[in-house]
């Protein structure tokens, strides 16, 4: 899943344009890869709000990437994820590498 209010969604991913859409999809389960933006629009919940709710509701993905352009937002989300991280979840302090994007664009399973 790709959470972003502005950027186009990479091929092979499900797009969530806001925090509530993202959380609803996480509650359904089965999210293997989650890529988070921090800034989701003026006055809207941000990526850190999503991470906070993930921790409180025990929601997770196998791999979590942080593609935000906000250094402070990335640090906040990474620190929260590192403190919460359940077993089986890997947190990557940056965007998805090209090989992950290419593999997922080829249709290697649900995101």
Q: Which CATH number fits the domain that encloses residue 69?
A: 3.40.50
Domain carrying residue 78? 2-105
* Structural domain includes residue 14: yes
Residue 56 to residue 59: CA distance in whole angstroms: 8
* Structural domain includes residue 111: no
Residue range 9-30: mean pLDDT, rounded:
97
Query: Could you tell me what percent of the chain has a pLDDT over 90?
Result: 95
Cβ neighbours of 61 (radius 10 Å): 23
Structure tokens at 110: 């649900």
Structural domain count, the chain: 1
Among candidates 3, 6, 7, which has minimal Cα distance to 42? 6
Check residue 107 and give its pLDDT: 61
pLDDT at position 110 over 70? no
Per-residue confidence at 43, pLDDT binned at 50, 70, 90?
A: very high
- Sheet of 33-36: strand order equals 15-16, 2-3, 33-36, 63-66, 90-92
The per-residue pLDDT for range 48-91, each reduced to its tens digit, is 999 999 999 999 999 999 999 999 999 999 999 999 999 999 99
């Amino acid at each position: 899943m790709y959470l972003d209010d502005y950027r186009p969604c990479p091929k092979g991913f499900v797009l969530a344009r806001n925090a509530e859409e993202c959380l609803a999809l996480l509650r359904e389960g089965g999210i293997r890869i989650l890529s988070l933006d921090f800034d989701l629009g003026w006055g809207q919940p941000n990526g850190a709000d999503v991470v906070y709710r993930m921790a409180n509701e025990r929601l997770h993905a196998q791999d979590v990437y942080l593609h935000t352009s906000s250094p402070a937002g990335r640090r906040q989300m990474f620190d929260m994820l590192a403190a919460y991280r359940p077993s089986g979840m890997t947190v990557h302090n940056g965007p998805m590498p090209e090989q992950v994007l290419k593999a997922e664009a080829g249709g290697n399973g649900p995101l």
